[in-house]
Structure 1
Amino acid sequence: MNEVSLIQICDTTFSESEVDAAKAIVFDAINQRSVPRKGELKKRRCLQDIIKVLKETDPESLPSFVAKDLHRLPPVTFDHVDATALLKDILILKQDVSTIKCDYARESAVSEVCADLAELRIQLKQLQQATQPATGPSLKGKRHKKSKVNSTSKTVNNLKLQVIEKTVSAHDAFLATVPSLQSTSVARTDRELTTVSQEERVLSSTLLGDNFDSTSASNDSYRTVVNKKKHRKQQKRAPNQRGVAKLTSNTIKIAPRLSYIYASRFHENTTEQDITNFISESGYTVQKVEKLSQFKKTSFNSFKITVLQEQEVVFLNNNFWPSGVEYRKYRYYRGPTVIS
């Protein structure tokens, strides 16, 4: 339910005194000051304040509110329900269900693949047992071993093609059960069959020997990508340095370093000349005294005083200014940007 509908229901159901009492309870619970409302739309504004506080405040810091008189609660019918949001949720659920049906394989296909793998494991064990050399101390045993290997070589070669054909057919049969997979589902299915692909490569490399190229028979190999881009080191700027030699030439002059002091709370009749005279009587010189214009009309004057930087410590000492004068270093105010 949106905020407008909620305010309309509460406005027509509860009185103004009840809304004020509820607002006071909510603001007391979070220790905030309640802003009083006046006018014809007082009740609506109070309801807006309550909803705003409930939205912006952490739920853990609010107490649990329950309805005391259930018969006072307004009925929630289809007129107050957002049917568009419900229809959108139903459409999203339908899309998710259809995606699940397309992405997941059937149980029969998975069982067939498991059965083929079990059969391949049995045949692999038989081949390993058949190709293992027989141990014996006598030369007769060695000859018997050599003849046994030669007799089983034809059987091994015949079983090589059978194992590879069954592996490829099992993989193709599994993919044929889900022909409408999208790119994301195909990638996920390949990751799920990683163990199957690894077993296929082990079987093929064991049966075909060293001449078998595993990369050409399967596309499941991964390559590590290394970023060879060199990061440039940020060069540190060299700090400014100051000279210490005495000036002996008359052709150049060194600009003095200035400091700016803000002094305020002077009488409204005080002028720039009065401030200059006061500083001169104190035994110090001033570069410039400027009266500041106030944004709002006040009963006192403020000044911006420009002095030499080596005299800044003197003008920022509380023993220099008379009692009641406020001072500090001058801060430049950046006003609002005006777009023409």
Structure 2
Amino acid sequence: MQKNINKSSQNEERKVTSNENGQGTANQNKETNNIPQVDVTQEEEAFSVVTKKRRSRNLNDKVVRGSGSGMTLKGVTTYRYFHICGLDPETMNEEVIKHLKEHNFRDIKCEKLLSKRPEEYSSFKVAVPVEESISFENPEIWPYGVRINKYFFHQFRRKATPS
């Protein structure tokens, strides 16, 4: 069985008709004799995989961040969020904030999360200004056993426990 494939422009009109066997054939108004024939049994070989072309980042697309100070117009503080776990189950938000202020972190947001095993450890979502995020990840300011990761925002996450 043979199948007609059109490689000409998409603007040409195309008709589909049925022959005696009930199989459809494609006919073009122009140049029907020049259409290549493809064996349907070799259908996998006749098609090529088409992938989306990735757009390369334009070097002119640069982000500019303001650096001026003492102006009437003010920008907002950008935060980086971290997941801290492995703390004692009795640890509260205020204790984490106090610990970070002792290590010279200024603007801190802290939220206690419901851990998978709350009887074993407690977890927190902590936000610090981007400028302070490198020193936040310093292992020397954290007690042994505490783990710090990037916080991943999920649509359906565990509810925070009130503290």
Does TM, normalized by the shorter one, top 0.5? Answer: yes
50, 58, 64: which is aligned to 1:242?
64
Distance 2:153 2:109 in 1: 16
1:222 matched residue in structure 2: 33
Q: 1:254 to 1:244 in 2, by over 3 A?
A: closer
1:264 matched residue in structure 2: 85
Verify: 1:318 aligned to 2:139, yes or no. yes
279, 286, 292: which is aligned to 2:113?
292
Q: Secondary structure at the match of 1:312?
A: helix
AA matched with 1:222: N
AA matched with 1:288: K
* 1:277 to partner: Cα distance: 1.0
AA matched with 1:182: E
2:101 matched residue in structure 1: 280
| Aligned-residue CA RMSD (Å) | 3.5
Q: Secondary structure at the match of 2:104?
A: coil
2:161 matched residue in structure 1: none
Distance 1:262 1:184 in 2: 64
* 1:323 to partner: Cα distance: 1.1
Is the helix fraction higher in 1 or 2? 1
Contact 1:264-1:327 at 8 Å conserved across structures: yes
Is the strand fraction higher in 1 or 2? 2
Q: Secondary structure at the match of 1:304?
A: strand
Q: TM-score, normalised by structure 2?
A: 0.56
Distance 2:136 2:144 in 1: 14
AA matched with 2:132: Q
1:205 matched residue in structure 2: none
Contact 1:292-1:303 at 8 Å conserved across structures: yes
Distance 1:260 1:245 in 2: 22
Verify: 1:182 aligned to 2:20, yes or no. yes
Q: Secondary structure at the match of 2:140?
A: coil
2:5 matched residue in structure 1: none
5 Å matches for 1:82-231?
182=20, 222-223=33-34
Q: 1:283 to 1:243 in 2, by over 3 A?
A: closer
Structure 2 gap segments, 5+ residues each = 1-18, 26-31, 37-52, 158-163
Q: TM-score, normalised by structure 1?
A: 0.29
* 1:326 to partner: Cα distance: 1.4
Structure with more relative contact order (C-alpha pairs < 8 Å, separation 6 or more): 2
Distance 1:283 1:302 in 2: 22
* 1:295 to partner: Cα distance: 4.4
Q: 1:245 to 1:308 in 2, by over 3 A?
A: closer
How many equivalent residue pairs?
A: 114
Query: Computing the radius of gyration over CA atoms, which structure comes out larger, 1 or 2?
Result: 1
* 1:240 to partner: Cα distance: 5.2
* 1:259 to partner: Cα distance: 0.4
Contact 2:80-2:133 at 8 Å conserved across structures: yes
Verify: 1:329 aligned to 2:150, yes or no. yes
Contact 1:286-1:305 at 8 Å conserved across structures: no
* 1:321 to partner: Cα distance: 0.8
| Identical pairs, percent | 20
Distance 1:332 1:234 in 2: 26
Q: 1:248 to 1:236 in 2, by over 3 A?
A: farther
Q: Secondary structure at the match of 1:307?
A: strand
* 1:243 to partner: Cα distance: 4.0
Structure 1 gap segments, 5+ residues each = 1-180, 188-220, 226-232
* 1:294 to partner: Cα distance: 2.6
